[in-house]
Amino acid sequence: MIVRVIVGLVLTVVAFAVAGRRLWWLQRLALSGQPAPERIEYARTHAATDLKTQLTEVIGQRKLLKWSVPGAAHAATFWGFLVLMLTILEAYGALFSRTFAIPVIGHWAVVGFIEDLFATGVLAGISTFTVIRLRNDPHKKGRASRFQGSHTRAAWVVLWMIGAVIVTLLVYRGAQQNTGVFPYPDGWAFASWVVARVLRPLGYGVNSVLEAVFILLQLGVVLAFLVIVSYSKHLHIGLAPLNVLFSRRPNGLGPLQLMRSNGKVLDFEEADPDTDTFGIGKVEDLTWKGFLDLGTCTECGRCQSQCPAWATGKPLSPKQVILDLRDHAFAKAPYLLATEDQRVTLAPDILELAQRPLVGTAEENGVIDPDVIWSCTNCGACVEECPVDIEHIDHINGMRRHQVLVESAFPAEATTMLNNLERRGNPWGSPADKRLEWTTELDFEVPVLDETIPEDTEYLFWVGCAGALEDRAKKTTKAVAELLHAAGVKFAVLGPRETCTGDPARRLGNEFVYTMLAQQNIETLNEAGVGKGSGKKVIASCAHCFNTIGREYPQLGGDYEVVHHTELLAKLVEDGKISPVNEADQKVTYHDPCFLGRHNKVFAPPRELIGALPGTAAQEMERSGNRSFCCGAGGARMWLEERTGDRINDTRATEALGTGADVIATACPFCNVMLGDAVNAKQAAGQARPNVEVIDVAQLLVRAVKLREGAAQDAAAGA
């Protein structure tokens, strides 16, 4: 007895010492990053939300369960390990007393049953993982495997370790049943009972030995697992709840974060290039929350499997970005954790590594290739999928910010767009008075605001640069205006007083130009008197304007109630103010714009509008809603060349055409252009039916309404 106590305790002390040392090292590494007081403040002041998030995301495994089979396997394993804490307690107790039973629980048969139920659940879970890993072997499936780039060997080791935890558990419990020291009545702990039946012929003596040896083996495996966890991707077992606790709310989608340096929001006028950080130029420019992201990644590859850049053959994998940053942070740790005096004594290879540019080509010995960060469309699919709430977009845009603001290194083709934004307030460089041209093509007057919005006008229609200046988007603008007019909704526009919201600049990484444009627009909107509480609302027909004005301007003091045109139109249809009644005999598939759908969760209104069109059959694409596939325009990609792999818009158009739809409807001018171009190219190549069209939901609606009005006129003429 004394031997097993000593062995058990020695193993425990050694394992806790090794794992504890590693965790201490990890927290020091994380704290070598930038401060992030806003994360602590938010978590501190939102305890109720925090608790709910922990219950749904961590305990409830909400995101994991979206992937039914692997989600169920993970949930079974996770919940199993929570319950099996009891068996670990029992194993420790049995070190000291063979007849140990947990106080309070005692010999309650139900607990024995639950323990075995969850133990078999874990076995089922890891068996499923084994099949999943074999079927997704990256050596065979290459880029199509979500495990491509993951440390698969470590994953196999952990699967075997978990298997060993359960096997040793069942063997010692079976032996305990045969020696009469099992804490629960025979039979209830059904899996242990089966093992006991197998071991019983070996007799009392052998079972006594098996009992002692397998209790120690069980503890040994659990403790070895603890050490392996602290050195592997399975760190997420401990870090995931923390990462979820300090993640952005409601999620890492929607707005980008303001630039911060040393924990404070960066003021461009007062920033000091010597002491302030501008984006992420070195791994230590990440905040501790950024480091926590790196340590929490489970390498599951869900993000990678949903990334449009990865799916179309680009060098970007959101998982690989996180893993590359993590590997670099770990390799650079001796430098990061050393004092200035200690650094000069470090080995030359560490010093060389410390000088590696974070973003740079292979020739420059960069950690992350520039093409990786410029391939991102900011679509948010990675953030949406990540089960541990890692904020990939923030990291990628942090690196873009540094490249643009400090290195002046960004794709050359974006230069014109940025210059146009600075000089003319729109990406095309059009003169401001062109912003009202579309109004001349309507047969009613559109009020243009000189000053404050009139008392009787509820809506300010934010037309957006594309909506005012791009031919296809102008049709949407006119359709929205006609529908509002027909419904008797009073609205006004800003005309030449509007400038670009700054979204393309911000997503490209040029926070300076974004801030300049945003502040100008906020001033204009405030002068127009449409701030929150005024009873006025802003209508946006562009998903990017919708996200920027509604979700990003509040960071700069501009608070407005912003509605997307599909939300307002759906309400007008519901209220009977617009009645699309004519049969159209068409099949429509709807493409969710990322910045309307995934980033802002507006999924239903555009579908309600399509559903209200008589004679129209709606057909969802395979990837829709939260899992929609990007058109390729976001993240300022609209203004960049796409030189590698397949074209994202072409891939999406192929999927849309595959539904057999006559109309590909969308609700964002950028999607309209990207998908329209792809369909046009396919039609020219004879790969798509000539009558397929790409249009905004508002255009579909206005047709139906106009058809109805026409029918009414015909009827009147007939009478």
| Dist CA 427 CA 430 (whole Å) | 8
| Dist CA 473 CA 477 (whole Å) | 6
- 474 or 652, CB closer to ligand SF4? 652
Q: Which position among 133, 173, 248, 302 is part of the footprint of ligand SF4 (CB under 6 A)? A: 302
Cα dihedral sign for 635, 636, 642, 643? negative
Q: Considering the rule CB under 6 A, would residue 379 count as an interface residue with ligand SF4?
A: yes
DSSP secondary structure string, 268-303?
Answer: TTT--TTT---S-SSGGGSBHHHHHHHHH-----HH
Q: Is 475 helix (H, G, I), strand (E, B) or coil?
A: helix
Q: Considering the rule CB under 6 A, would residue 300 count as an interface residue with ligand SF4?
A: yes
Site string for ligand SF4, 309-348 (x = CB under 6 A): x------x-xx--x--------------------------
Q: Considering the rule CB under 6 A, would residue 308 count as an interface residue with ligand SF4?
A: yes
Phi, psi for residue 493 in degrees, rounded to 5: -120, 165
Q: Considering the rule CB under 6 A, would residue 640 count as an interface residue with ligand SF4?
A: no
Query: What are residue 616's DSSP bridge partners?
Result: 586
Parallel, antiparallel, or unpaired for β 264-265 and 260-261?
A: antiparallel
Q: Which residue has the tokens 């010492």?
A: 17
Amino acid (one-letter) located at 245:
L
Q: Considering the rule CB under 6 A, would residue 382 count as an interface residue with ligand SF4?
A: yes
- 29 or 323, CB closer to ligand SF4? 323
Q: Considering the rule CB under 6 A, would residue 377 count as an interface residue with ligand SF4?
A: yes
Q: Which position among 248, 289, 326, 392 is part of the footprint of ligand SF4 (CB under 6 A)? A: 392
Cα distances (Å, whole numbers) of residue 358 to 125, 276, 365, 371, 395:
38, 17, 9, 13, 12
Report, in Å, the least distance between residue 254 CB and ligand SF4.
12
Report, in Å, the least distance between residue 302 CB and ligand SF4.
4
Site string for ligand SF4, 498-537 (x = CB under 6 A): ----------------------------------------
Residues 6+ apart with CB under 8 A from 655: 621, 622, 623, 629
Rule CB under 6 A: which of 187-226 touch ligand SF4?
none
| Dist CA 178 CA 85 (whole Å) | 23
| Stretch of 76-84, 175-183, 379-387, 560-568 contacting ligand SF4, by CB under 6 A | 379-387
The count of residues in the chain is 719
| Stretch of 78-86, 375-383, 512-520, 547-555 contacting ligand SF4, by CB under 6 A | 375-383
Q: Which position among 76, 162, 393, 694 is part of the footprint of ligand SF4 (CB under 6 A)? A: 393
| Dist CA 304 CA 31 (whole Å) | 28
- 223 or 307, CB closer to ligand SF4? 307
Beta-strand runs (E) in 593-686? 616-618, 663-666
Cα distances (Å, whole numbers) of residue 516 to 257, 269, 282, 400, 414:
16, 11, 26, 18, 18
Q: Which position among 299, 391, 470, 696 is part of the footprint of ligand SF4 (CB under 6 A)? A: 299
| Stretch of 244-252, 358-366, 372-380, 656-664 contacting ligand SF4, by CB under 6 A | 372-380
Q: Considering the rule CB under 6 A, would residue 58 count as an interface residue with ligand SF4?
A: no
Q: Which position among 178, 251, 298, 666 is part of the footprint of ligand SF4 (CB under 6 A)? A: 298
Report, in Å, the least distance between residue 311 CB and ligand SF4.
9
Which residues of the shown chain bind ligand SF4 in the complex (CB under 6 A)?
A: 297-303, 306-309, 316, 318-319, 322, 376-382, 385-388, 390, 392-393
